[in-house]
Chain A
Amino acid sequence: MSFPNPAASVKLVLLGEAAVGKSSLVLRFVLNDFQENKEPTIGAAFLTQKCTIGERTIKYEIWDTAGQERFASLAPMYYRNAQAALVVYDITKPASFIKARHWVKELHEQASKDITIALVGNKYDLVENDNDDNEESLRKVSIEEGQGLADEEGLLFFETSAKTAHNVNDVFIGIGSKIPDTSASSSSNNASNGPNHEGGRIDLSSGNSSSQPSDSVH
């Protein structure tokens, strides 16, 4: 069998606190739709969407994860082998930005070494009409803070609105352009390295960390 111009697959995972709008971003990107009351994601949802960037077509395999703290222990199951990640926070919720910082840290430690990460501050529509001298702004995380974290950690950075579609496609195009061609298609070759047959498959530990006990400090 031969396939006409197979699109390169990119596994992308969304992480971030509950109700920041992860599922809404995906819904906007995939179906160009928005729902006011989106149900919380249980475990994770899986969707796919093709995205053409210049000559290339990328097929995103999107894992949209649950945001509540206690689901965090499931996340490794979804971000293993991911080539891209969106770490999402809500620009009106400072706590969600702290959580985003944690996710970035975790990804750098546990996920694939060459993962492309975009930091996304969502719900831009809520602050869109702010003037500079507006005192009652809903915005609680400034662009500078977001950009600062992104620069520090080497991430792409966007402020988006799933509601108005502001910047949403740009995130995916941005990620797509940053992912090298080879890396995108290599995902299918990696399989030959052989899957892990050892032990339980619900393994909370993932990736390349090692927690061997070390020598004691004197």
Chain B
Amino acid sequence: MATISTYLRNFKEPSKDQLTQLFFAIPETPPTIGKADKDEEPERMEISAVLTLSQDASEDPYPGKLYLLPPYLSFASLDRKSVRFTIPLCTIRRVERLNARAGIYALSLSLWHGMKIVVQLTSLRPTADLFCALLRDALKAELQRGQMKAVKGFVKTCYSEMLVSNTEEGKDAAAHKAEADVADPDSIYLGGLGLKFKYPGDPKKLREASKTKLWTTYLKTHGRNLTLLRYPQCTRLVQVGLPNRLRGEMWETLSGSAYLRFSNPGLFERILKENEGRTSTSTEEIEKDLHRSLPEYSAYQSEDGIGALRRVLQAYSFRNPETGYCQAMNILAAAILIYTSEEQAFWLLEVVCDRLLPGYYSPSMHGTLLDQRVFESLVHRCLPVIHDHFTQVDVQLSVASLPWFLSLFINSMPMVFAFRIIDCFFCMGPKVLFQVALAILKINGEKLLQIQDDGGFIHLMREYFSSLGESAHPKSQDPRARAITRFQELLLVSFREFSVITDDTILNERRKFRSEIVTSIESFSKRSAIRNLKTLERFTKDQAGLIYDALFKAVCIEPPPVAPLPPVALLTTKDGTEERPETRIELKTFKVFLSEVCAWARAEKIVSNGFQQRVDREVAEHELIDRLFFFWDTSFRGALSFQDLVSGLNGVMFNDLMENIEWFFNLHDKNKDGYLTKDEVLTLSESLLFIFRYEIGDAYLGAVSRFMSNAFEYGDALLPRPESSDGDGDIPHIESNQPYMNLATFRMVVLADEILESFFETDFSGTFRLEPVPMMEIPNSNQGLLGGLWHNLVSDDNRKIFQKVTDEIGKTIGKHQVLYRPAIGKFTTLEEPKARESLLTPTMRRSASKASLDASESTPDVSTPPTVPTLSTSSSHLTVDQPGPASAISPSEFSPMPSMFQAAANAAALMERTPFAIDDAKDDDEESDDGSELADDGVMDEVDAFLEAHDSGLTEAERELAKDLINAEPVK
């Protein structure tokens, strides 16, 4: 099996616009009404602004940037983290220009949920005017699309609406309502399996009621779901853990998957419906794992949970056939489904797999490998002592850390804690995983310096994770300090000490190591492709490697169409052996491949223009190449696999004279009846002419023309004659598509000519050559401005331009010269062709027709001495301007693992996963809510612990002004 993916090479760094879009979690292609008005794409614009929240005087004004990204409006404060929002334009109910002090340009926006925000545009007047005009247009467009109505339906599905409306009806009723609500059939807010099967963890310990209260207050003043404004308090509340019922919705809002659900209503159901009953490799793999996903959680012991999980994973795999399904996604989806509906989980999964953890779950898992490399580099930078120790004892970080990243800690620590990390992950992005992972190492630093091998490392981590619920300072005098759990300590260290790790850090590091990872993945796939060949035939492994390289290059240049993987069942052959999906190339790609390994399948122009000499290589087109493609397609699939190519080349590269003649004969014997028809003889001659097209001199041309005349002469002579007719009768008539010439005759005709004989003896096989393929460089994005400029200059296109220019100059100064390099290159001088005397015996000649006698007259002088063959120039001389052959990366040898006796290691092994605390599950409402002061509850303490000084960066006067605006009158 060999699946060749060039996806990794085609990767492009996101543009600045795309990065902005990613930052604000805006869905990739904003759904436009029709493709027709695509050219009328709404304009984007960004502008400096100061944001003030009208109703809540406790929130400072924040300067930052306002982005119009139709159909969304976004804002980020200067530090890009304190305050931000992304709101669909259709949730803006009213925009007013404020009548404030002279020279101040401010807008007041009324949002769906009743909040009012004021944005003071601090750019120059014309810029601000332009922004307003664009905003007006964009709002109008949304109005026309009727999106406002969609908002109404969408917010109904959100639990936050219920929370807020309950408190508005009076505090006393709230508790009652919440309880009644579960059974209330009118309530349509979405929830997860937890609603029915309980949530993991003890709600009292989780302080659910207090958290819910804090959130209710926040959501009332700062908007919710589609209109959530994120102020520092929001992040802090997330860091102390989301309340269970609100969790799913907040994940969706914070990660931005809500925008996907909002803009693609009904898509999830539609995908399932359209693919009903369809099976694929992915669906079979999913089926295997359904009962193996959080099996301790009771929902996954019943059809409720299993069915939901199946639908979410299948829908994802149908929508993203290239990623399909990867183990770990089942655990992730199962965890998410405890808190969200299927549709919400589906979109969350998409955001995780596509945007937050790109490439983690892809078939090559390159994202996972890349981030492990990034993590290692961050450890090297932030915790050099630990890094050095690990290097010294040869312990690989990723043996422990890979599952942390891949399953978001769900598999590594008790679930209640993993969910808290996931809260932060959805709120603050993938950097959280790195921050937490670094903090884990830092906290365990002392002990890590004692470990001696991979096993010790894993043991230590497992012990640590199972102790996360314990006090971090059990011996402290201060009861407050004693109350801090190890988990709280972990988060504090993560966000305080590793706040230096930002999104940009991660992006930069990923850029740095990308090509390294791509190279190692590619060389791994190459090795396994070679290993998995059914037969190497007569090639060595290294030679097979060269064939693979040529194939890989061809696939890069001319990608085969992506076929969705067929279901496993279809691949099963009668004898029960199963084939795996593998890359097969079609004719188009095959031509490129063949041009790499076969001299006559390419046109090589040697161009000299006085400045440089170079070889321009082009893929040749000829029926012969098509013929070869179908000749090698022995299983009649219309596409060739790596194995087909290896076997095909094997059939032609090791042949001696007789085998070559036979091979060539068979290639042209289309119906494989052992005879060529007259048409096929002609085609064969054309094939020869094609192969000889760039040879110097007339020798080959002559050989082919002699071949043709001899072929028809002998062919006719050997035709069976009707018994009745006399020896000198007419040649029997034969249709051009009837069997005409067998192998023996063909062989005789070929051997009649010295040039053809020597061609089939050695030259033909020699036109096939396996050479290191000058590989295209992996686009390395790790360049500064200068590097980038240089890279642009040496891009293929520019190289072509450069060459064109030099060619033109060369022409004008008369130095431009183009030569086609011959495929064989035996004759370097224009020597006269020569041929042996006809092999026809005198008796045969006598019986031959007149026509053949004519032909024999044209046989040239036999006395011409044979030409001394000149060896072809080695191709390497001429490849002056090509990048050097990419030498295969020699695998760095793994050195033996040191294994010291561990005193601490005991024989009893632990389970690999800390069992999770579902047995503690109790109902939320158990916790008494009466009069428990929030401060005493400790939640606020914890919130305070995360309090970071957030200086908005405004002067006192500016702050005054911003506050003033709240009371300003709209312009009439």
Using a CB–CB cutoff of 8 Å, the interface residues on chain A facing chain B are 1, 3, 6, 9, 11, 18-19, 23, 30-31, 35-50, 59, 61-62, 64, 66-74, 76-78, 80-81, 94-95, 98, 102, 105-106, 109-110, 140, 187-188, 190-214, 216-218
Contacts and interface: CB of A to CB of B under 8 A. Distances in A.
A38 to B, nearest CB: 6
A193 B653 contact: no
A30 B911 CA distance: 10
A98 B577 contact: yes
A64 B403 CA distance: 13
Given A46-B912, A73-B524, A190-B897, A198 B892 contact: yes
B364 interface: yes
Contact of A73 (B364, B399, B888, B891): B364
Nearest to B3: A69
| Most chain B CB atoms below 10 A, which of A71, A195, A206 | A195
B132 to A, nearest CB: 51
Interface string B364-376: 1100010011001
Contacts of A19: 288-289, 292
B610 interface: no
B391 A197 contact: yes
Contacts of B458: 46
B68 to A, nearest CB: 41
B651 interface: no
B114 interface: no
A196 B895 contact: yes
A194 B576 CA distance: 47
Contact of A11 (B293, B327, B899, B913): B899
B899 A188 contact: yes
Interface stretch (B623-631, B750-758, B766-774): B766-774
B543 interface: yes
| Most chain A CB atoms below 10 A, which of B331, B513, B580, B907 | B907
26 contacts: A9-B901, A19-B288, A37-B292, A39-B293, A39-B411, A42-B327, A42-B331, A46-B459, A47-B909, A48-B905, A67-B327, A69-B363, A70-B365, A71-B327, A73-B364, A98-B577, A187-B896, A188-B900, A191-B393, A195-B898, A201-B376, A201-B397, A202-B376, A203-B894, A205-B520, A209-B527
Given A50-B907, A202-B373, A218-B769, A212 B524 contact: no
Contacts of A72: 528
A51 B362 CA distance: 39
A40 B520 CA distance: 26
Interface string B392-421: 111011110011001100010000000000
B910 interface: yes
B523 interface: yes
Given A39-B295, A40-B292, A68-B327, A46 B455 contact: yes
| Most chain A CB atoms below 10 A, which of B295, B369, B895, B909 | B909
B890 interface: yes
Contact of A81 (B369, B399, B896, B903): B896
Interface string B354-384: 0000000011110001001100100000000
A51 B909 CA distance: 13
B285 A211 contact: no
Interface residues of B, number: 95
Contact of A204 (B455, B524, B887, B895): B524
Contact of B394 (A71, A110, A191): A191
B808 to A, nearest CB: 35
B895 A202 contact: no
Given A187-B899, A200-B520, 6 more contacts: A64-B912, A70-B365, A190-B898, A202-B396, A213-B887, A217-B770
Given A31-B909, A94-B577, A204-B524, A77 B892 contact: no
Nearest to B771: A216
Contacts of A42: 327-328, 331, 402-403, 406-407, 411
B885 A213 contact: yes
Contact of B365 (A37, A71, A80, A197): A71
B41 interface: no
Contact of B890 (A1, A36, A95, A211): A211
A191 B578 contact: no
A207 B897 CA distance: 12
A40 B327 contact: yes
B373 A106 contact: no
A155 B908 CA distance: 29
A195 B331 contact: no
A210 B889 CA distance: 9
B326 interface: yes
Contacts of B369: 73-74, 202, 204
A212 B584 CA distance: 26
Nearest to A18: B288
A6 B909 CA distance: 17
Contact of A68 (B326, B455, B513, B895): B326
A106 B528 contact: yes
A210 B913 CA distance: 38
B285 A68 contact: yes
B893 interface: yes
B796 interface: no
A102 B532 contact: yes
B545 interface: yes
Contacts of B708: none
Nearest to B454: A46
Nearest to B907: A50
A212 to B, nearest CB: 6
A19 to B, nearest CB: 5
Interface in B277-313: 285, 288-289, 291-295
B907 A9 contact: no
Contacts of A98: 577-578
B442 interface: no
A200 B517 contact: yes
Sorted from nearest, which 5 A-B pairs have the closest CB atoms? A191-B898, A205-B891, A190-B896, A195-B394, A214-B542
B521 interface: yes
A95 B365 CA distance: 22
A40 B768 CA distance: 47
B295 A218 contact: no
| Most chain A CB atoms below 10 A, which of B292, B523, B542, B896 | B896
A196 B455 contact: no
Nearest to B887: A213
Interface in B498-554: 513, 516-517, 520-521, 523-528, 531-532, 539-540, 542-543, 545-546
Contacts of B455: 46, 48, 61
Nearest to A191: B898
A30 B772 CA distance: 50
B283 to A, nearest CB: 14
B888 A213 contact: yes
A191 B454 CA distance: 13
A63 to B, nearest CB: 8
A47 B910 contact: yes
Nearest to B653: A217
